[in-house]
Structure 1
Amino acid sequence: MPFKNLKQHIIHQVTSGKQGKAFDFSNTFSEVLNRKIKHEEAIVLLTAMAPHIQPGFFEEIIQILHPDGGEFPQWGGVKHTNYRGFLPTGETVQYILAGKNINKRGLVQKYFSEDHWFFSTQTVLLENVQEGVPKMSGQLIMPAETIDLLLFGEVSLPAFGSQFPAELVATKMAWVDLVLSKETFEQIHQIRLWLKHEKKLRHEYGLDKRLSPGYRALFHGSSGTGKTLTASLLGKEFNMPVYRIDLSQIVSKYIGETEKNLERIFTRAENKNWILFFDEADALFGKRTATKDSHDRYANQGVSYLLQRTENFNGLILLASNFKENIDEAFIRRLNQIIEFPKPEFEDRLALWQKTIPKQLKAKTEILEKIAKEYELTGAQIVNAVSFVCLHFLEHKSKKVEHIQFMEAIKREFKKEERMFTQLP
């Protein structure tokens, strides 16, 4: 890392060439970022990165230039409760790149506009400040993914936490393991086509100006019918991380906090080629109510925020709900796809039993056909039932699975839903 050269260059810049030495940092990180990097852009990246790699980096420079100490507002910089050193701000970059030159200082601000690739790729950001406070006094924020990319040449995925309340979901299964109706598969295939051809559709076919950013789909149907598995398989096929949003960490009783929590996720996911999966989406995307008091008004404002944010997000958003009718109609109108995941019919249930049961159980075909015909279970319930039977099989070292064991397993699934169970003879 060229931090030794950066130190000399900064000293050279702020002393008008009396000390230090000038260096050209053009195309630093060009290979890992897959783009041409201007000298000034490289300075911004290295400045933001320095405290993460060399604590005390800026303190050493200031000590060299100002050995008698004092206050130096031209350097900007902030301190953090968890970090005792100097954290660079936009003002720090302005001073390094432009000194006191007003015109050049104005140009430096453009590096932190929404039009610059720093923002669109979330490579380095300028922290938002309160109204009336100089914009450039915000801290330079370099996400952990950027640091890993610049250091190691690969991007690390964010860990679940309060700052990123979404968990990575994945599967070891394949499309062949998913059992759905033909119509549902055909609708899912449309999403696969979009993921495969979106760039050509927008740029080579010239539809970019006519299409909204991103793609939005609603999966609706009973629990256990394959909604989460489908989201995971889409991510697996196209090498896209799938993040399931934890609504318990998102939804807040405090006014405006839910929107702030969501904005953190959307901002982090922008241009990252991730899939955002909102399970039990009713909690966020539910129908707006008639405004009776201030709480209703703020709740409706939250839905309006989501409408705008999801429409402007340039990736794939998947909503999952047990009931389509619970979703606000304004969201419904903005969806590219609405896909029903119905409970499996007899042939699909039989296929699920056959695909799920291990060969060691040696289950008779006539037994599977009988229970598939008589008992309406979802894919998840069938997996639970097979797991129960397998454990019984292993514990008792059975040579084959009996009819009665299937009955007990299915009875347990019916009891969970308080459904009437009638045992087959």
Structure 2
Amino acid sequence: MKKTLAQNTIHFDSKLSFLKEVIEYRLKDNYTNEIPVFLKFDKIMSDDSLFSKFVREKELSLEEVITLLLAIVPHISPDFFTKIISDFLPNGGGLPDFGGVKGKNHRGIIPTGETVQFIVAGSDIQKRMQLTEMFYEEHLFFKEGVLYLGTVPMGEPKMSGRLMLAEEYIELFTTGNILKPSLSKDFLAERIDTQLDWDDLVVQNKTLQQIKEIEVWLDYNDIVLNDWNMKSRIKPGYRILFSGPPGTGKTLTATLLGKFTGKDVYRIDLSMIVSKYIGETEKNLSKLFDKAKNKSWILFFDEADAIFGKRTDVRDAHDKYANQEVSYLLQRIEAHSGLVILATNFRNNIDTAFTRRFQSIIEFENPSYKERLSLWKKNLPNKIALDKSVSLEEISKKYPLTGANIINVVQYICLKTIASKHKSILLETVLEGIKKEYLKEGKMVKI
């Protein structure tokens, strides 16, 4: 960590010196009678810092590099711009052409799109207009979620928006760490993972075969789209519906797909996304998909019934906006280039007009006797023996529990056995755990 941090930050001294000279060149060129000479750019990005590697990998132009440096300056040298301007105007004064805004907490100058225009193009109107293209949707900065302009009050120039570098790139360029977003009011998704393996997933064979098809897409989709030139015919992304009762392996499957393909899995509880306030649901979804754009994340939407129920007839304004929320979610899901999984406990609640949008619908059924027996055997601790009175075959036949139920019972068994100082797992302990699980769900069971 220390080595990576030093490796990244030591090179910023030379980069900021370069940027300082670029700004001073522009100030002299615009405001003095001097004829300054523009400095050489050839070696400034030849080091092994992650910033320089990014520049070389993406083949960024001089203008794009200057823009990136301007965006990162406030995060590493708050008084950078103030010092340059103060040195240039020792008697005070302002430079409206320079652009820049003040932050709420930040005491220095935060550069804007106008700052980029001034430093790169000066008073060259044609070049200033060309620079606006760096903030179009077609540009790499937007496509890969690297850098963008902040919003401005209605009627004010778009280029007066502050230059904003995405948090993950700030972290990457300065510390060498890859920042993974966490659950917050601005990002209503939680990264989930698992220590389990595919052998721990107990589902019916037909379900497992369908899951393997998702792995195939994750492994080979890029080849189909790029090497086989199928981009114009096949929509980006892959959309799947997981349907089945709680505790049957839907969440575990999503995390295993991420684990074995090296992709982060983000769980989104749609019941948290949906808001009673008009427009808030779409706003929440927009923030989420904008953050996920061009990331290799797996998006796992849990509790899809919260928004994906059968479309209603429009009887009032509430129905109208509820349908708009569903349409907006569908629109963003279809435009997303990654894997999107929606999970529902009740497939019948999903409108057939929506199910046609999915490439695959996978049913997770309650485990049969065979799967229940496998779940018991896989999840009971191997550090302690079963009492002779315990027949897993008999328990599996008699009590139709889900995988999640069995895990809960096993936890109870472990704690109870340790607390009771028993040398083996007793039948009465197993039955107590089963009874407790049934009562928790409001079910009656004869033990």
1:324 aligns with 2:352: no
CA spacing shift, 1:360–1:162, aligned 2, 3 Å: same
Partner of 2:440: 416
Aligned to 2:225: 202
Which deviates more, 92-101 or 132-141? Answer: 132-141
Distance, in Å, in 1 between the alignment partners of 2:37 and 2:286 is: 43
Per-residue CA deviations over 1:141-177 (Å, capped at 9, x if unaligned) read 1112111222244422112212212111000001011
Counterpart check, 1:262 vs 2:285: yes
Compute the displacement of 1:69 (Å).
3.1
Q: Is residue 393 from structure 1 mapped to residue 406 from structure 2 by the alignment?
A: no
Match of 2:6 in 1: none
Counterparts of 1:18-57 in structure 2, within 5 Å, are: 22-24=39-41, 28=45, 29-32=51-54, 34-57=57-80
**CA–CA distance in structure 1, aligned partners of residues 404 and 373 of structure 2:** 14
User: In the alignment, is the contact (CA less than 8 A) between 2:22 and 2:119 conserved in 1?
Assistant: no
> How many Å apart are 1:312 and its aligned residue?
0.4
Q: What secondary structure sits across from 1:219 in the alignment?
A: strand
Separation (CA, whole Å) in 2 of partners of 1:131 and 1:25: 41
Cα distance change on mapping 1:364 and 1:394 into 2, 3 Å = closer
- In 2: Cα distance, 1:138 partner to 1:330 partner: 41
SS of residue matched to 1:83: coil
Q: In the TM superposition, what are the counterparts of 1:111-130 in structure 2 within 5 Å?
A: 111-130=134-153
Larger mean CA deviation between 122-131 and 304-313 belongs to 122-131
- The letter of the residue matching 2:284 is N
Distance change >3 Å, CA 247–CA 62, structure 1 → 2: farther
State the match for 2:133 in structure 1. Answer: 110
Aligned to 1:85: 108
* 3-state DSSP of counterpart to 1:358: coil
Aligned match for 2:335, one of 312, 330, 334: 312
2:24 corresponds to 1:11 = yes
* Aligned with 2:99 (options 76, 79, 89): 76
Q: 1 CA distance for matches of 2:403 and 2:44?
A: 53
Q: How far has the Cα of 1:327 moved from its partner?
A: 2.4
- Mapping 1:120-159, distance limit 5 Å: 120-159=143-182
Distance (whole Å) between structure 2 residues aligned to residue 259 and residue 98 of structure 1 = 38
CA deviations over 1:281-312 (Å, ceiling 9, x no partner): 11132332211222222221111111111100
Paired residue for 1:238? Answer: 261
Cα deviations across residues 209-261 of structure 1 (Å, max 9, x unaligned)?
A: 11111111111111111111100001100111111124455222221121111
Measured after TM superposition, the shift of residue 133 of structure 1 is 2.5
Partner of 1:407: 431
| C-alpha deviation, 1:270, in angstroms | 0.8
Change (3 A) 1:210 1:144: same
CA deviation after TM superposition for structure 1 residue 129, in Å: 3.2
CA distance in 2: counterparts of 1:30 and 1:198, whole angstroms? 30
CA distance in 2, matches of 1:89, 1:249: 35
| Distance in 1 (alpha carbons) for counterparts of 2:353 and 2:288 | 22
More divergent stretch after superposition (247-256 vs 351-360)? 247-256
- How far did 1:30 drift? 4.3
Superposed CA deviations along residues 13-40 of structure 1, whole A, max 9, x for unmatched, are 2321656963427883341463212111
Deviates more, 1:371-380 or 1:58-67: 58-67
Aligned pairs for 1:334-413 (under 5 A) are: 334-363=357-386, 367-413=391-437
In the alignment, what sits opposite 1:274? 297
Identify which range, 27-36 or 54-63, moves more after superposition: 27-36
TM-score (norm 1): 0.95
- Which residues of structure 2 form unaligned runs of 5+? 1-11, 46-50
Partner of residue 202, structure 2? 179
Secondary structure of the residue aligned to 2:199 is: helix
Asked if the contact 2:241–2:362 (Cα under 8 Å) also holds between the matched residues in 1, the reply is yes
Distance 1:301 1:77 in 2: 38
Distance 1:376 1:220, change over 3 A: same
Aligned-CA RMSD value: 1.9
SS in 2 for 1:418: coil
Counterpart of 2:433, as a letter, is A
Deviates more, 1:250-259 or 1:407-416: 250-259
Deviates more, 1:83-92 or 1:26-35: 26-35
Unaligned segments of structure 1, at least 5 residues: none
Indicate if the aligned counterparts of 1:27 and 1:37 stay in contact, CA closer than 8 A. Answer: no
SS at match of 1:334: coil
Quickly say closer, same or farther: Cα 1:121–1:391, change in 2 above 3 A: same
Task: Specify the code of the residue in structure 1 equivalent to 2:53.
Answer: E
Q: Would the aligned equivalents of 1:5 and 1:23 in 2 still touch at CA under 8 Å?
A: no
Distance change >3 Å, CA 19–CA 159, structure 1 → 2: farther
Q: How many residues align?
A: 423
Contact 1:89 1:136 in 2 (8 A): yes
- In structure 2, the CA distance between the partners of 1:239 and 1:65, relative to structure 1 (3 Å rule), is same
Give 1:4's aligned amino acid: S
Judging changes above 3 Å, is the alpha-carbon distance between structure 1 residues 57 and 308 closer, same or farther for their aligned structure 2 residues? same
